[in-house]
Amino acid sequence: MSRKQRIKKGVDIRLSGRPADSVTSAPSASVYAVKPPDFTGVIPKLCVRIGDLVEAGTCIFYDKKTPSVQFVSPVAGTVKEIVRGAKRRILAVEIEASENNIYRDFGVLDVDKSDKNAILSRVLEGGMFPYIRQRPFDVIANPEDSPRSIHVSGFDSSPLAASTSIALEGRMSDFQNGINALAKLAGVSGVHLGIKNTDATLAGVRNCEITEFEGPHPSGNVGIQLHHTAPLSKGEVVWTLGYQDVANLGAMLSSGKYIPTKVVAVGGSECATPQHVKTLAGASVSSIVNVPATASNGDSVRVISGSPLTGDQISKDDYLGAFHSAIALLAEGSEPKFLLTEGWLGLGLKRFSLNHSFPTWLMPKSKEWNLDTNMGGEERAFVVTGEYEKVFPMDIYPQHLIKSIIVNDIDSMEKLGIYEVAPEDFALCEYGCTSKIPVQKLVREGLDNLRNELG
């Protein structure tokens, strides 16, 4: 019998261009990339040079602070380019795939007969460890920590997200194997899996504590699930990972090969054929989706790796992010909007708003919205109160926490519960903010400052 938990606060933003239930396999991309900035909190040290031959599973770079955490190549090929940004920061390591994919063999590991250390060292070696994140701070986990528990969200509730049943089709034994391995890594509280009440795909998974979540986004965020099952206190560490990564982890242990399969939901108003696409982590966008030159509103098209609420803006020549299982194509909104037609004083029929001064709340819930990337106003000081609370299902005062982050008051941040949160949990607060405060950016800065402060 699984526990049931209802999340009342939050909202589902139904964007047009939702991916259809069909899955197609993407043609193998010619170039893949591993992007260090995807792995928050990591300082990359390269172990390859341009021109080096790599196998799928060869170490590309490791974390300077914890060298055992290796980031490996998704395919076999040649290191084509090391893209650097300001201050020579490594932005991406591009690998040109060879025709035959050669896998580095890590050897088969029987999870049931192995102990914690054997599993951990195989996960590290096999390149799956970087997919494990930790709370507090929402950064890549440290293998030396012993986590209180491991939390896996079995569904993604954000707009245009992939569906669990499609993404894990035919992969249930890998998923179960992954959970079994995690159960050995987790502390006494074990593995917690949050599933959607309307989707029974993962209901039969064993060796973990299952909680059934009902309610709108952000109920699929692991942080929200964590808060409602076993809230995190100061001094505790938990690990979190995505459900597709659990299956990949299980597959890596049972096959000895690193194959970072991703079923990516490709959608958005500017996407011609919204669907699920099966590919590998780090695949080039061009191999997954055809990006139109101009959007339907005549503006350019924004390519988002990840959810429209939390993802990264990338160019159409870029690569899928390591933690992303969605690509959204939205229209940019750089055309100024006249006040009476579509601006601030207009009726606002085209705007999906959390505020009732727009007619959104009177429209049918099934309506799909075609939203662009316009800010919808300018940044201001905090004026309105009680707005974030409506879409923030935690026993935390979001606006007060953000204010303590703005003034960098470490003591208040701790007291107000910053250890439990990640930027993604604030995405809806940021969406509906009247004052257009860059909330997710602030939370990230707050977490980073706190992490530096604590050493």
Partner 1 sequence: MKVLHKLIESVKPHFEEGGKLSKFWVVFDSLETFTFTPGHVTKSGSHIRDGIDLKRTMFTVIVALIPALLFGTWNIGDQYFASIGQEADLLEKMLIGAIKVIPLIVVSYGVGLGIEFYFAAKRGHGINEGFLVSGMLIPLIMPVDVPLWMVAVAVAFAVIIGKEVFGGTGMNIVNVALTSRAFLFFAYPKQMSGEIWIHDVASSKGADLLVDGHTGATALGQLAGTVGKVIDTPAVQVIMGLFADGGMFSLHNCIIGNIPGSIGETSVIAILIGAVVLISTGIGSLRIMASFLAGGLFMGFLFNLMGMNAFMTLAPLHQIVIGGFMFGMVFMATDPVTAASTNTGKLIYGFLGGFLSIMIRVFNPAYPEGVMMAILFMNVMAPMIDHYVLQANINRRQKRLQNI
Q: How many whole angstroms separate alpha carbon 172 and alpha carbon 176? A: 6
Q: Which stretch binds partner 1 (CB under 8 A): 27-35, 61-69, 99-107, 350-358?
A: 350-358
In this structure, are residues 66 and 142 in contact, taking their beta carbons and an 8 Å threshold? Answer: yes
- Answer yes or no whether residue 169 interacts with partner 1 by CB under 8 A: no
Report the alpha-carbon distance of residue 146 to residue 446 in Å, rounded: 24
Phi/psi at 389 (5° precision)? -55, -30
Region label for 377, one of left (φ > 0), alpha (ψ between -120 and 50) or beta (otherwise): left
Number of residues that bind partner 1 (CB under 8 A): 75
Regarding 455 and contact with partner 1 (CB under 8 A), the answer is no
Question: Using CB under 8 A, which residues numbered 368 to 427 contact partner 1?
Answer: 371-378, 380-386, 389, 395-397, 399-400, 415-417, 423, 427
Residue 36 to residues 193, 257, 277, Cα–Cα distance (Å):
28, 22, 24
In the bound state with partner 1, the residue whose beta carbon lies nearer, of 97 and 371, is 371
Pick from 30, 294, 313, 408: which binds partner 1 (CB under 8 A)?
313
CB 411 → partner 1: shortest distance, Å?
11
Name which position in 207, 286, 348, 449 contacts partner 1 (CB under 8 A): 348
Q: Which is nearer to partner 1, 36 or 417 (CB)?
A: 417
In the chain, the amino acid numbered 380 is R
Least spacing, CB of residue 70 vs partner 1, in Å: 30
- Please state the closest distance from residue 15 (CB atom) to partner 1, in A: 8
DSSP one-letter code for 143: T
Judged by beta carbon, residue 257 or residue 302, the one nearer partner 1 is 302
Name the residue nearer to partner 1 (CB basis): 4 or 380.
380
Exactly one of 342, 405, 422, 425 binds partner 1 (CB under 8 A); that residue is 342
Cα–Cα separations (whole angstroms), residue 35 to 74, 76, 90, 91, 144:
12, 17, 8, 6, 24
The answer to whether residue 57 forms part of the interface with partner 1 (CB under 8 A) is: no
Q: Does 124 bind partner 1 (CB under 8 A)?
A: no
343 binds partner 1 (CB under 8 A): yes
Q: How near is the Cβ of 372 to partner 1 at its closest, in Å?
A: 8
Least distance in angstroms from the C-beta of 148 to partner 1: 9
Q: Which of 432, 446, 447, 450 binds partner 1 (CB under 8 A)?
A: 432
439: contact with partner 1 by CB under 8 A = yes
Dist CA 441 CA 447 (whole Å): 10
Give the contacts of 56 (CB within 8 A, at least 6 positions apart). 72, 73, 74, 75, 76, 101, 102, 103, 104, 257, 258, 259
Tell the smallest beta-carbon distance from residue 361 to partner 1 (Å): 9
Phi/psi for 442 (5° steps) reads: -65, -40
Strand partners, 284: 319
Sequential DSSP letters for 224-270: HHHHHHS---TT--EEEEEHHHHHHHHHHHHHS----EEEEEEESTT
Q: How far is the CB of 341 from partner 1 (least distance, A)?
A: 7
Are the C-beta atoms of residues 5 and 211 closer than 8 Å to each other?
yes
Q: Which of residues 352-371 bind partner 1 (CB under 8 A)?
A: 352-358, 371
Binding of residue 433 to partner 1 (CB under 8 A) = yes
For partner 1, the binding residue among 310, 318, 405, 425 (CB under 8 A) is 310
336 binding partner 1? (CB under 8 A): yes
Touching partner 1, residues 268-307 (CB under 8 A): 302, 304
Cβ(28)–Cβ(97) below 8 Å:
yes
Half-sphere exposure of 241 (CA within 13 A, CB side): 30
Q: Whole-angstrom Cα distance, residue 390 to residue 422? A: 18
Residues 131-150 that bind partner 1 (CB under 8 A): none
53 binds partner 1 (CB under 8 A): no
Question: Scanning residues 10 to 49, which ones bind partner 1 (CB under 8 A)?
Answer: 13, 15
Q: Cβ of residue 344: shortest distance to partner 1, in angstroms?
A: 4
CB 191 within 8 A of CB 174: no
Residue 165 or 189: the one with the smaller Cβ distance to partner 1 is: 189
Helix, strand, or coil here: 177?
helix
Binding residue (CB under 8 A) for partner 1 from 117, 146, 173, 233: 233
